[in-house]
Structure formats: structure tokens, C-alpha cells
Amino acid sequence: MIVNIYYGGRGLIEDSTIYVVNKLKETLEEIRVVVNLYNLYEHDVNNIPTLVNTLKDADGVILAVNIEWLGIGGLMQQFLDSCWLYGDKSNIKKQYMMPVVISSTYGEEEAMDYIRKAWQVLGGKVWPGICAYVENQVEFETNKQYSRLIEDSAEHFYRAINQKKETFPSSASLFNEGLTRGINEIVAPVNGQTTRNIFDETYVKKQKEDIEELAALFKGMLEKKEEHSNEKDYITIIKENFHPIANFKASYAIQVLDLNKTLIIEVDGSNISCYYGDKEDSDVFVKINQEGMNSLVGGATSFNEAFMSGVLTAKGNFNVLRTFDQLFIF
């Protein structure tokens, strides 16, 4: 059995939707379900339509979003639009979908209904999901009863797919039949290309290789000297401004997007190690562009200010994240 999870949030550390998604994934994998997690924020907006092709092998689908101020957000909306325009409706008709909506403000019920109706219009089967308002992230994620409810939802979803449980018919299917007749034969332009081109894996691969080659060429011509200088400067500045905290041990992985490299900072008491590489088990993973990184190490903004303003995105241990400004005073 294969279940695809599509997460439509921004990947922020305070988003409890990530906790719910990971708990669902863990529970399903324990009962030998193959789970594919797609974080929509990790994909270029122009590539989201190609994700529709990942639906073809899935038996079940989980659509997970968080409500930050109003509605389901643009990433999930674009994914649903792409399912409507380019999805194989005959395949979607066989698939069960479980919605997950976690809100830190008003509107989780409305968003839940929206996702349910969207999937029904696509022709798919809707299974009861998870809908919750989270006022306190820590209390929600440490509550054992909530944890059990999430596990139960995953198990019920598994049984529904495995036993091919029937769902009540919806009038939304009539809407689907009236408007999608013949839609799979339509070749609609997307960014100057057609849907056939979008789903032609050879074509997509070649286009991607060409773009990467050109990007690498221009990057090498225009930024090579600046990048090498910044790489050395970041490590030097971080070590020079290190203020140890007794008995504190943590690791940070900071991906500088413009450099396409990840800066690893490992702290153990008064000892610090700083280098470029990979560390999958870091306590905090950060994404930031070069301009934001320069502002950070230049003292123009603090780590927490950059996080709150959206200059950087982070996930991991929130307490370790907040300690960064105590360890490094620029």
C-alpha cells in the first residue's frame, strides 16, 4: 500500500501540522505502508503541476495544511488546481483522501470543508480527517490523548483503503462529470509548454539539466570570488563571536541558498566546530539567503528577529533555535 502526503504549509518550526504529518507517517510506516511525503514549499511554484504525476501510484492521499490567517494557502490551492487541470480523474476516483487542517487562528472548519469538496469534485473518495485549533504548540504536541487520536486516524485510514470501504455518494461528482468530460485529452499550455511536455519525464529532465547548466555557468562567472570570500568570512565571524554556555550542546545546519551550501555549527560547552557539509540529525535546520546571512553576522538583525520576520525559515528544536542569539553576539 502506498500513501502520499502533500504538506501545503511553509515549513515553519511553530507549525503543529508538521508534528501531525510526521506522527501519521510514523504510524502508517509501522504497519508497513509506504509513505511518500511531499513538502510543497520545497518545490518551485512552476514545478508544482508536475507533482500531480506522483498521484498515479498512490492508494491513499493525505492533504495537510495549516491556517495562519485565512484559507488553505496558495501552495495547496495550486496543487489542487493542477489536479483539476492535469490529473487523471479515472485514477483519482479510486483514491481515498484524508484531510488534515491545523489552525493557529480562526477558520479550520471552513478549510476542512473546502478540501473535502475539492477532492469530491475531482471524483475522489473522502475519509474523515483531523481538524484542530492549536493555541499552545507545546501543550498540543505533548498531549498523549491527542497523539493517540492521530494514531487512530492513521489506522482507520489504513483500514478504509485496505478493505476498500464504501463512502456515501456526493452531488459534487455530478459537477465533475459535467465539466471534466474529455479534459484528459486537452493539451493546455503551462508556462509556454503543454501538459504532455510536463509529464514527459525525458523532456523535463533535459530542461532541468539545461537550466542547471546555465545557472552554474552564470553563477561561476558572476559570483565565484564573492562566494569563496563569504564562505571563509562566515566561519571566521561565527568563531570570533562565539560566547559559550556551560553544559550546552547543540548543532545548527544553516543552508545559505545563494551559495548552495550548508554551514554546520556544532557546539559542546566551550568547544565549537564550524564547517560546510551535511548533518541530517542537526537540532535546528535553517534556510536563509546570502543577504539575510550577511545581515545576521553583521549584527543588523538577530537570529530570532530574522526568524519572526520571515528572513529565514527554520525547523527543529525551538529552544535550541532561540539560544542562538545567546551563543553568538555579532
| Whole-number pLDDT of residue 223 | 53
Question: Does residue 207 lie in a domain region?
Answer: no
Using 50 as the pLDDT threshold, list the residues of the chain that sit under it. Answer: 180-192, 194-199, 225-229
Residue 271 lies in a domain: yes
* Residue 240 shares a structural domain with residue 168: no
Residues 16 and 133 in one domain: yes
pLDDT of res. 293: 92
Whether 269 and 178 share a structural domain:
no
Amino acid at 47: N
For residues 258 and 124, membership in a common domain is answered with no
Q: Which three cell numbers stand for residue 198?
A: 510536463
Report pLDDT for 186: 43
Domain that holds residue 30: 2-185
* 39 and 150 within one domain: yes
Domain's final residue, options 169, 185, 201:
185
Quote the CA–CA distance of 169 and 179 in Å, as a whole number. Answer: 18
The answer to whether residue 242 is domain-embedded is yes
- Is 16 in contact with 140 (CB distance < 8 Å)? yes
* Pair 169, 246 in one domain: no
Same domain, 96 and 15: yes
Strand segments, DSSP code E, in the chain are: 2-7, 34-39, 60-67, 96-103, 125-126, 130-133, 189-190, 193-194, 249-256, 261-268, 271-276, 284-288, 312-316
- Measured CA angle at 234 (ends 229, 236), to 5 deg: 95
What CATH number has the domain bearing residue 7?
3.40.50.360
Pairing of strands 312-316, 271-276: unpaired
- On whether both 7 and 140 belong to a single domain, the answer is yes
For residues 245 and 157, state if they share a domain.
no
In this structure, are 181 and 232 located in the same domain? no
Position 36 in a domain: yes
Phi-psi region of 182 (alpha: psi -120 to 50; beta: other; left: phi over 0): left
Among 153, 185, 217, identify where a domain stops.
185
Domain count, the chain: 2
Residue 208 lies in a domain: no
**Tens digit of pLDDT for each residue in 117-155?**
999 999 999 999 999 999 999 999 999 999 999 999 999
Q: Looking at residue 202, what is its pLDDT?
A: 61
Residue 111 forms part of a structural domain: yes
Total H helices, total E strands in the chain: 12, 13
pLDDT digits (tens, 9 = 90+) for 92-101: 998 999 999 9
User: Helices 144-162 and 16-30, interaxial angle, to 10°?
Assistant: 50
Tell which of 152, 185, 218 closes a domain. 185
Q: Would 174 be classed as within a structural domain?
A: yes
Is 217 domain-assigned? no
pLDDT in tens, 165-191: 888 877 765 555 555 444 444 444 444
